[in-house]
Amino acid sequence: MNRKARINIARTGVIIAAAAALTVGSMLHFFTQSESPQFVLEPRDAPRVINRAGSRGFEVGTGWSTGDPKKAVAKALEMALQGKREQKPGFLILSPTAGSNVGAILREVRRLVGSEAKIYGGTSDARGVMTDKGYVTGAGSGYKEAREDIVQGRHGLSLMTVNTRQIDFGVGIAGLEAPGSGVAMTLAAVEEAVRSAGKRPGEKPSAILISPTVGLEHDVLKGIDEAGFGDVPLVGGSVGGPDGRAFANDLSTDTGVSIAVLYTDLPVGWAYEGGYDMLDKHSGVVTKMDGRRIVELDHKPAFEVYDQWMDGKVSQFLADKSQADRFRDFLSLHPLARLRTAPDGTNYTILSHPWAPNTDLITNGLNTTTDIKEGDRVYLSYGTWEILLNRLGSLPAKSRNTTSFGENTPVLMSLGYFCAGVLGTIPENERELIPTLINHANENAPFIGNISWGEQGQIPGVGNQHGNLTVGFLAIGGKSGDEE
């Protein structure tokens, strides 16, 4: 059965639009590691042509590669800059898989693009990266397998190059100097980014991108608020691991944040949400916390309450030591949700991923990386990989539901942060659908996707939030009439 036919009869009618998406444009098939490591471009009918404002001084490209850092950077840049009038990008978003030699990558990027380019990014989850050209696999699934593959040099890399006078970019980076200094660290990175863009201190950008290391997300969002930028559209992702790093220009950190600011009159759109339903019959009030670990729900051991909500399935997984990876995916499909209500009465959910680094820690409480507090009510949520895959494909269109985007506004460039936990629930042979679906909803515009270990975004009327199992997407549009 060919690929198109198989998608048409996908289970439970998942993403029927994918079949249509595959009839236009080009599709990359990335072989699994059990197959040949080569990559094959399968030609399709030419896609609808969108003028990306190149004639007006806007050029954007994406590229990817694998393996040795120097060769990977050169190949990815060659792909991104193919056919471009300007071969030295002014702004570059970089996303290597975790475990890559970030220092060597940054040095090679700088050597090839010159001293003027502004570089921003963070590592993606070790399992892969993506662009509009396809999903690139890195290490295998599972923490043990991922670390083994990292040692063997199984890495992927993607990047986006931008040249335009219509956006002023600035980047900044700062590391944590001492415990409790996360807010000051963020203020320093913001100040550097604004200065890098050639703007005055405190001058508000049109959008903010952030790549914090895991555990510093709330300090980073608080620092952005204190800088006076709390109402600026924001999209971010905690750097993917194992052992993730954030970087800007020629520096990187494993405990800090990198920030990019964008100043432009072009349309800016964004979306930030999860793809889970909420079960109202299962909820409880947090009555005891230990750091970010939920110890008690309704004055009962949190693990026992959660296990009861799940009809004992958590205990069953823990009893079978061979099911560690399936257990993580199971937890990813059953997160805890909190409600956030906007002034207009709209309810939003912030998701927290219970995670289990070992059996003792989950039975002693539910570990989270979010800011759950005593007194919060949490609800059991659930999802399926089919629903989550649909949600990934719908975000580009939702990101354009802003006042600055009109019906005929073309997309010039876009980027997304996709939760690694969500990715883990999607079967490996279905993940190559993700870029195809995004392209279909994104007018085949260039995009780059980072697979993150936590996601940050702005909720209208609520403010900047940090959650898990969420997707953030940012789109930059052109002027109406740029379509050919």
Q: Model confidence over 277-334: pLDDT tens digits?
A: 776 689 999 999 998 889 999 999 998 999 999 999 888 887 776 666 677 788 889 9
Q: Domain check: are 346 and 436 in the same one?
A: no
State the pLDDT at residue 33: 29
Same domain for 316 and 400?
Answer: no
| Structure confidence at residue 29 (pLDDT) | 28
**Is there a domain that residue 302 lies in?**
yes
pLDDT of res. 393: 84
- Ordered alpha helix ranges (H), 310-419: 313-319, 324-332, 359-363, 385-399
| Residues 301 and 242 reside in one and the same domain | no
Residues sharing a CB contact under 8 Å with residue 438, sequence separation 6 or more, in sequence order: 132, 392, 393, 395, 396, 416, 447, 449
Integer Cα distance of 102 and 95 in angstroms: 10
Q: Domain containing 338: what range?
A: 277-382
The answer on 222 and 145 residing in a single domain is: yes
Domain termination residue (choose one: 323, 347, 382): 382
Average pLDDT of every residue of the chain: 83
Give pLDDT, residue 394. Answer: 85
CA angle 437, 443, 446 (to 5 degrees): 85
- Same domain (yes/no): 372, 412: no
Segments of the chain with pLDDT less than 50? 1-55, 361, 482-484
Domain end: 330, 352, 382, which one? 382
Neighbours of 275 (CB within 10 A): 23
Alpha carbon of residue 418 to chain centroid: 3
163 and 294 fall within a common domain: no
Tell me if 154 sits within 8 A of 172, measured CB to CB: no
Residue 326 lies in a domain: yes
Residue 362 in any domain: the answer is yes
Global pTM?
A: 0.85
Which has the closest alpha carbon to 161: 190, 118, 126, 123? Answer: 118
Q: What pLDDT, on a 0 to 100 scale, did the predictor assign at position 227?
A: 97
433 and 374 in a common domain: no
Pairing of strands 293-297, 411-419: unpaired
Is residue 122 within 8 Å of residue 246, measured between CB atoms?
Answer: yes
CA atoms within 13 A on the CB side of 2: 6
Q: Residue 72: inside a domain, yes or no?
A: yes
Q: Is residue 6 part of a domain?
A: no
Q: Are residues 156 and 74 part of one domain?
A: yes
Running DSSP on this structure, what letter comes out for residue 326?
Answer: H
Residue 5 domain-assigned?
Answer: no
Do residues 130 and 254 both lie within one domain? Answer: yes
Residue 84: predicted pLDDT: 93
Q: Among 382, 398, 415, identify where a domain stops.
A: 382
**Cβ-contact 206, 194 below 8 angstroms:** no
Residue 1 domain flag: no
175 and 36 both lie in a single domain: yes
Asked if residue 7 is part of any domain, the answer here is: no
Same domain, 320 and 427: no
Residue that has been written with the tokens 């889970």 in this structure: 276
Q: What is the pLDDT of residue 356?
A: 65
Residues 366 and 388 in one domain: no
Count the domains in the chain: 2
